[in-house]
Chains A and B, each alone.
Chain A
Amino acid sequence: MSSIDVLLWSVLPYFAISSFTIGLMWRFKYDKFNWTTRSSQLYEGKLLRIAGPLFHLGLFAVIGGHIVGLLVPQSFTDSLGLSHEAYHLGAISMGGAAGVATLLGIGLLIYRRRTTAMVFVETTKNDKGMYIFLVATLLAGSAATLSSAGIIGKEHNYRETVAPWVRSILTFRPDGELIMASPLAFRIHAITAMVLFVVWPFTRLVHSLSAPIGYLFRPSIVYRTRDVRSSAGNRRSRQGWERVKY
């Protein structure tokens, strides 16, 4: 392994993980105020009605697929009697459908962002940068799916290369050789995804971590007493207007 490879496959993953976790903690502690979806629905609703759910729900399916594909070892599904072919077929078809929905969704979202003047004006540089990494990851991921199906290049079983590599990272025994055996599309996908994790806490993507599941279990009407001013992560009020911290 060259030193570049070591950097890419054994160092970058941990850098991404630390940036992601530490960054999120930092953001949560110091910048709750800007932790929001920054929704642009007020400006434009019709396209968003289709594109928003299409992208998000597609993405959930994609993420679910990744969790199963990367974390469940092949030996486990084998022992369940699920043949490699059957698994492959399922993964490609479901993953493909979810991928198409996600790509279509983000395509529409970007089109909407670019063509609706109000939405475009409100698009920050930060957003634009984030979109680049996000779209690159999605595109590389789709290419990887195609290549694993044998539509591009040779059919490839990522559960023997990429998945064990991810597990090797998560168990702190990084083994870059594993992923280096995979086709280029997979490696590009992995790199862009890692970069995406690095920048994640510093973009509007943070809103994905505030999925309001607790809503299902809380009483309808929330009461608070006046002096809960400094619960964790809130900026403390000072006299007069708040001091500027940026």
Chain B
Amino acid sequence: MKVMAQMGMVMNLDKCIGCHTCSVTCKQAWTNRTGLEYAWFNNVETRPGQGYPRGYEDQAKAKGGWVRTSKGRLRLKAGSRISRLISIFSNPKMLNIKDYYEPWTYEYDNLITAPLGQQTPVARPKSLLTGKPMKIEWSANWDDDLGGGPENIEKDPILKKLAEDVTTKVKLAFEETFMFYLPRICEHCLNPACVAACPSGAMYKRAEDGIVLVDQQQCRGWRMCVSACPYKKVYFNHKTGKAEKCTLCYPRLEIGLPTVCSETCVGRLRYLGLFLYDADRVTEAASVENEQDLYQAQLDLLLDPNDPEVLKAARAEGIPEDWLVAAQNSPVYKLAKVYKIALPLHPEYRTMPMVWYVPPLSPIVDVLTETGHDGEDAGNLFGAIDALRIPLAYLAELFSAGDKEVVEGTLRKLSAMRSYMRDINLGRTPRPEIPAAVGMDQESIYEMYRLLAIAKHEDRYVVPAAHAEQAEDLERMGQNMGCSLDGVNLGDANAGPFGQSSGNPVPVTIENFNIMKARQSNE
């Protein structure tokens, strides 16, 4: 047993209102620069929908993640090492910018400089890549809130997959009842396909907290990680020619602050905390034969932070005491392993993702209420979960490789919690048989309620600070990160006729430096 610590996240989808605050704050902090205009380290997609980049879940085409060979070994879906090295001159699976979207701006200048005339001047869209006027046809959120209707939604890879066995009925019933938001960041996988695919060895998993990073000095721009990640969460900075990805805001985590997306989340639905896991068994767990066993295999990797054996082994690996305490208080461990209501996104990709999701229940409650039922009555709810087979199948495709029982189990717990708590809130006698029906006791269902519904800041984020002599350094780095809009003229008219995107690549550091300087001298 080799105990390692992993920083993990859980998102409670019931609470996501799809406001995109997380995406916007993340962008302001990390990707607000040339070369990454199109990149959203955090994006929120409406499901059903095609996602961002379009159709990334269709691995038959995108070739992301791992596959299990007939010999029971794991191999990247994109092929063997040699075959991938040979195809390095033009990665056959690399996405095109159009799969994300072509970034644009508007000719705002025209609004104030246009000569006096009959027509009101307009700000035409122009491409940030070519500087030429362009027609906007797609973006990261084109099909937000089912925008574009069936025509767009039908292309959802999951819907397509479901339609294969149940035909069109799925879609219709589905559209009537269901829509939810799925915020996504890099999963900081235990078995990251991006790291395995990087020919330069520039991508790595941090031994201390499992954060997956790209070494900017060592990346040579082979872009194999971009296509190998099944979640398409590595982005190619087309200006610097380097891969970049979500860093889980490590400069903030290292001083005990939650990530920007978590901190700013309007629904307060994100949880951050530590997992302890057995690094020796990751490959074994990721290569179990049956895809539907992957969820359980992944759960089994997570070690009980209260088990003295585990603690001993963790200390032997040099994990500091306060990290062990943090692991014991970890909300993500509770949600994933103790209550078993958080599920990994697409476990079938075999990367062992470490961002977990509490599947949404609300639409089911809403439907019940609309049809005149008591949406929070335990009996009704349990029945409704069974009856609403179609969304369940959809959720199962997302969170449990199609195993509906797993998703149903979590939804039953969530609805039990609602019913049980309603009795308490209305001053009625609480009914212990409700938690019992889902295999929980009153105390734990109440604890679960506190974590999900009260969701205090200190309960949501249990982030132990990094242990290092350089902690001071890091602190300054964390504090320097503010909203990069402060005092910066973003619509800089002096940036040249093509905006910032023409000419020599400006190293990231220079851009950041200039923004920093502008801000400092403005204040």
Contact B89 A53 (CB under 8 A): yes
Which partner residue on chain B sits nearest A216 by CB separation? B81
Mask, A19-36, CB within 8 Å of B = 1, is: 000000000000011111
In angstroms, Cα B131 to Cα A50, docked, is: 27
Report the minimal beta-carbon distance from B382 to chain A, rounded to whole angstroms. Answer: 42
Which partner residue on chain A sits nearest B512 by CB separation? A241
Could you tell me how many residues of chain A have their Cβ less than 8 Å away from some Cβ of chain B? 55
In angstroms, Cα B89 to Cα A49, docked, is: 8
Asked whether A220 and B195 contact (CB < 8 A) given A37-B222, A49-B92, A212-B220, the answer is yes
Residue from B94, B129, B217, B221 within 8 A of A118 (CB atoms) = B129
Report the minimal beta-carbon distance from A229 to chain B, rounded to whole angstroms. Answer: 8
Contact A207 B221 (CB under 8 A): yes
Chain B contact residues: over half helix, strand or loop, or mixed? loop
Report the minimal beta-carbon distance from A91 to chain B, rounded to whole angstroms. Answer: 25
Residue from A34, A42, A124, A212 within 8 A of B94 (CB atoms) = A42
B359 contacts partner chain A, Cβ-Cβ < 8 Å: no
Contact A239 B201 (CB under 8 A): no
Question: Looking at the complex, which of A4-12, A93-101, A144-152, A230-238 is the stretch in contact with chain B?
Answer: A230-238
Residues facing A in B167-220 (CB within 8 A) are 191-192, 195-196, 198-201, 203-208, 216-220
Residue from A214, A218, A227 within 8 A of B470 (CB atoms) = A227
Contact A212 B502 (CB under 8 A): no
A72 contacts partner chain B, Cβ-Cβ < 8 Å: no
Which partner residue on chain B sits nearest A44 by CB separation? B96
In angstroms, Cα B513 to Cα A241, docked, is: 7
Which partner residue on chain A sits nearest B514 by CB separation? A244
Contact B505 A38 (CB under 8 A): yes
Asked whether A117 and B513 contact (CB < 8 A) given A210-B200, A220-B195, A221-B192, the answer is no
By a CB distance below 8 angstroms, the chain B residues around A216 are 81-82, 85
Report which residue of A44, A220, A233, A242 has the largest number of chain B beta carbons within 10 angstroms of its beta carbon. A220
Contact A56 B89 (CB under 8 A): yes
By a CB distance below 8 angstroms, the chain A residues around B192 are 221
Contact A121 B90 (CB under 8 A): no
Asked whether A32 and B90 contact (CB < 8 A) given A42-B96, A221-B195, A225-B208, the answer is no
In angstroms, Cα B97 to Cα A122, docked, is: 14
Contact A212 B205 (CB under 8 A): no
B43 contacts partner chain A, Cβ-Cβ < 8 Å: no
By a CB distance below 8 angstroms, the chain A residues around B468 are 226-227
B430 contacts partner chain A, Cβ-Cβ < 8 Å: no
In angstroms, Cα B513 to Cα A34, docked, is: 17
Contact A37 B217 (CB under 8 A): no
Residues facing A in B489-518 (CB within 8 A) are 498, 501-505, 507, 509-510, 512-513, 516
Contact A121 B236 (CB under 8 A): no
A76 contacts partner chain B, Cβ-Cβ < 8 Å: no
Question: Looking at the complex, which of B54-62, B238-246, B262-270, B295-303 is the stretch in contact with chain A?
Answer: B238-246
A126 contacts partner chain B, Cβ-Cβ < 8 Å: yes
Residues facing A in B104-133 (CB within 8 A) are 127, 129-132
B140 contacts partner chain A, Cβ-Cβ < 8 Å: no
Contact B199 A215 (CB under 8 A): yes
A40 contacts partner chain B, Cβ-Cβ < 8 Å: yes
Contact A121 B94 (CB under 8 A): no
Contact A121 B498 (CB under 8 A): yes
Asked whether A220 and B196 contact (CB < 8 A) given A36-B241, A212-B220, the answer is yes
By a CB distance below 8 angstroms, the chain B residues around A117 are 129-130, 132
Which partner residue on chain B sits nearest A207 by CB separation? B220
By a CB distance below 8 angstroms, the chain A residues around B208 are 225-226
Residue from B132, B236, B512 within 8 A of A42 (CB atoms) = B236
Asked whether A48 and B129 contact (CB < 8 A) given A239-B476, A241-B513, the answer is no
B-to-A contact residues, CB < 8 Å: 81-82, 85, 87-92, 94-97, 127, 129-132, 191-192, 195-196, 198-201, 203-208, 216-223, 236, 238-242, 282, 466, 468, 470, 473, 476-477, 480, 498, 501-505, 507, 509-510, 512-513, 516
18 contacts between A and B (CB under 8 A): A39-B236, A40-B238, A41-B90, A43-B129, A43-B238, A117-B130, A118-B97, A124-B503, A207-B220, A221-B192, A222-B201, A224-B206, A225-B206, A225-B208, A226-B206, A240-B477, A241-B480, A242-B512
Given pairs A37-B221, A45-B94, 6 additional interface contacts (CB within 8 A): A41-B223, A45-B90, A53-B89, A55-B89, A241-B477, A241-B480
